[in-house]
Amino acid sequence: MRPDDANIAGNVHGGTILKMIEEAGAIISTRHCNSQAGEPCVAALARVERTDFLSPMCIGEVANVSAEITYTSRHSVEVQVNVMSENILTGAKKLTNKATLWYVPLSLKNVNKVLEVPPMQYTRKEQEDEGKKRYEEQKLDRLETKQRNGDVIFPIINPDRQTKEPHTVGYSQSSLIHLVGPSDCTLLGFVHGGVTMKLMDEVAGIVAARHCKTNIVTASVDAINFHEKIKKGCVITISGRMTFTSNKSMEIEVFVDADPFVDEPRERYRAVSAFFTYVSLSKEGKPLPVPQLLTETEDEKRRFEEGKGRYLQTKAKRQAQMQQAAQQ
């Protein structure tokens, strides 16, 4: 990890790690989908399950990213990715990230054609049953997310923050506009999922930093859903806004909207959506209290309560896992 991979405190950007995770998942799933004779294809990212940043990675450490296919349905591949960091001076290693990603194979001849996935061999029947359950759960969640995906964040590039009250949604809300070039894209001419996630993390980080005015780091990312492909030549607008704060964490909602204005008569569309969670850190790297989010409108109050529900659900799930681990 080099200085341009990290923030001002020397911690590697969450978006950089997400990009590495996606690259590993794309490689292994594309290999699997082309493992049998048939139409050549490239695996495209459809969804990333909740990802927790278990430990910070620092400049000078070596990242080791490993990927394994854990389930295949007829048209999708589930990939588990682990990220280890290694201090090459001491040899110390630590697990920094665990992620689950879903890919679909797209034909090289016709990018709108989803091909069938070669089935994997399971070591036991329970492994297949558990994978099928995860597949049905993520499929249902993707549909629910798409149904509530009509919300709009108007791009704010250079707002007059002096007219905004500190710690309000409008004060920290941020946007980034990016022209999709060839280096952002796959062989099919569509944006790499990792590139999109890196930009989303940058915007969410700006929102968090503006709210706290301290060093911030990515703590976790809720499920990232890739609703539609983004083509080379599109202008994408990545917008983020604060939705919820607890005593020590912030939830930021991030949308990616695409404008296919080159050779495309299509109107702007929602391409990706997700929730990022950040924590505030002191110069010594210790957690700091987060300023309470001030909600002003009914929509902001509604989103705050929805975020609180997600926060309490995640907290309860984590406590149950800790109790289960203690009993084993």
Joined together, the tokens standing for residue 197 give 């996630």
Predicted pLDDT at 206: 95
Assess whether the region 3-139 and the region 158-326 belong to the same CATH fold. yes
Amino acid, res. 103: Y
Predicted pLDDT at 288: 95
pTM (whole model) above 0.75: yes
Predicted pLDDT at 104: 96
pLDDT profile of the chain (328 residues), mean per 10: 85 93 97 94 94 91 96 96 95 95 94 94 93 92 66 58 82 94 92 96 95 93 92 94 96 94 78 95 89 96 96 88 76
158-326: CATH architecture: Roll (3.10)
Q: Known catalytic residues?
A: 7, 201
CA dist 233 to 22, 42, 316, Å?
Answer: 22, 20, 44
Give the residue extent of every domain in the chain. Answer: 3-139, 158-326
Query: Phi and psi at residue 240, in whole multiples of 5°?
Result: -135, 145
Buried b / exposed e across 133-150, counting CB within 10 Å, b at 16+? Answer: eebeebeeebeebeeeee
Distance CA 299, CA 210 (A): 21
Q: CA-based angle 316:310:217, to the nearest 5?
A: 95
CATH of domain 3-139: 3.10.129.10
Residue 256: CB atoms within 10 Å = 27
Secondary structure of residue 82 in the 3-state scheme:
strand
Residue 69, strand partner residues: 79
Per-position DSSP letters for 114-182, written without gaps between them:
BPPPPPPPPSSHHHHHHHHHHHHHHHHHHHHHHHTTT------SS--GGGSPTTBHHHH-EEEEEE--G
